[in-house]
Amino acid sequence: MEKYNCKEQQMLEFTYKNSGDPIRFPVGTVYGAQDGPTLVVVGGMHGSEFCGIQAAIDVFQKTDPAKLRGKLVVTTIYNMPAFQNHLGFLVPQDGKNPMRTFPGFLEGTYGEVMAYYFWNSVLKDDPDFVIELHGGDIPERLEPFISVTVTGDKAMDDKIEEMAQAYNISCLVHTPIATRNAAPLGSMFGKLIARGIPAMLTEAGGEGILDMDFAKIHYDGITNVMKKMGMIDGELVDTVERLDMTYHGAIRNETQGMWYPFVKLRQMVKKDEIVGEIRDYFGNKIKDITSPIDGMITVVRTSPSVGVPQVLLELHHVN
Ligand SMILES: [Zn+2]
């Protein structure tokens, strides 16, 4: 029987049978005093993106069940092994990015089995909406943005757009679903949309720092969405002008060496403009990096440490 007007926290635990290692997800649930929609919030898909993790914790702590309509399910840290090892992007056990593991499968690698158990427990009962929180990983700085998936199904697209508009983040990067869901295993939010559940990825934070201003961007965004869905009362925080952007993608490194960016976040660049360079380990330039499009810089790798084919910059078209 469904519960009302209470809060629960639990450590969901499964076992990766090939090694016997545990798979753990910290999941908090706030059951509202009245009926309403279900919102699932997932922090720490990348375990060192702390601003999203902190926002998930804060929204769980501060949501009063007596004032909630519906149910809020918060996973504070999805990728616990990365969190515990201060590792960027990947699940340490198999070196896979969890954004390429959903919906997972039981006979897969550790990260794929993680996704399988998460998909079949926390995400099993169709939630009304899902927010996947990111926070810029250890080597990067980014302009807060939302990946707004465009499916071509008007009802779905309207729901995603409404939630994205409510989040109070400026850069709304509209991304075709084909870009997200080309492979059988993909991102959690992309595969949820394919399942018919409105979902979005939101980003604020970076460089392995817990910056409370960025955590607050996520906190305001999540609670704005809850207000928009009628789960809680209150006025939406609405302070930034929205920018309608179309996904282009990343410039990836092709050369062994060190990375020196010449551009800043939100900088507008022209096609073929030099945006940075790769130098050898003695300081000599090996390669100019140029922009493939006219667009706006949204992610800068701020660390000189770079491998092949890691991301140097991300940029998108501004409409
Ligand atoms: Zn991330």
> pLDDT tens digits for 268-292?
999 999 999 999 999 999 999 999 9
Residue 165 lies in a domain: yes
**Interval 153-184: pLDDT, tens:** 999 999 999 999 999 999 999 999 987 777 89
Query: Total domain count for the chain?
Result: 2
In this prediction, residue 1 carries a pLDDT of 53
Ligand 1 centroid, distance to 132 Cα (angstroms) = 9
Ligand 1 centroid, distance to 54 Cα (angstroms) = 14
Residue 1 lies in a domain: no
Ligand 1 centroid, distance to 109 Cα (angstroms) = 20
Same domain, 49 and 148: yes
Percent of the chain past pLDDT 90, that is, above it, reads 97
Of the candidate ranges 42-56, 57-71, 155-169, 176-190, the one whose mean pLDDT is the lowest: 176-190
Same domain, 93 and 124: yes
Ligand 1 centroid, distance to 291 Cα (angstroms) = 23
Distance CA 264, CA 282 (A): 25
Tell which of 241, 262, 281 closes a domain: 241
Ligand 1 centroid, distance to 52 Cα (angstroms) = 9
The per-residue pLDDT of the chain, averaged, comes to 97
The CATH number covering residue 236 comes to: 3.40.630.10
Residue 75 tokens read as 């996973």
Ligand 1 centroid, distance to 34 Cα (angstroms) = 34
Please give the sequence-ordered ranges of beta strands (E in DSSP) within the chain, or none if there are none.
6-16, 21-31, 34-42, 69-75, 129-134, 140-142, 145-150, 171-176, 199-203, 243-252, 257-261, 268-269, 274-279, 285-290, 295-301, 305-306, 311-318
Same domain, 80 and 154: yes
* Domain span including residue 162: 6-241
Same domain, 123 and 206: yes
Same domain, 150 and 44: yes
Evaluate if residue 2 carries a pLDDT over 90.
no
Ligand 1 centroid, distance to 47 Cα (angstroms) = 8
Ligand 1 centroid, distance to 49 Cα (angstroms) = 6
Ligand 1 centroid, distance to 78 Cα (angstroms) = 11
Tell which of 241, 259, 286 closes a domain: 241
Distance CA 90, CA 55 (A): 21
Q: Which amino acid is at 280?
A: D
The conformational region for residue 20 under phi > 0 = left, psi -120 to 50 = alpha, else beta, is left
Distance CA 57, CA 212 (A): 12
Same domain, 237 and 304: no
Ligand 1 centroid, distance to 275 Cα (angstroms) = 23
Query: How many C-beta neighbours within 10 Å does residue 114 have?
Result: 28
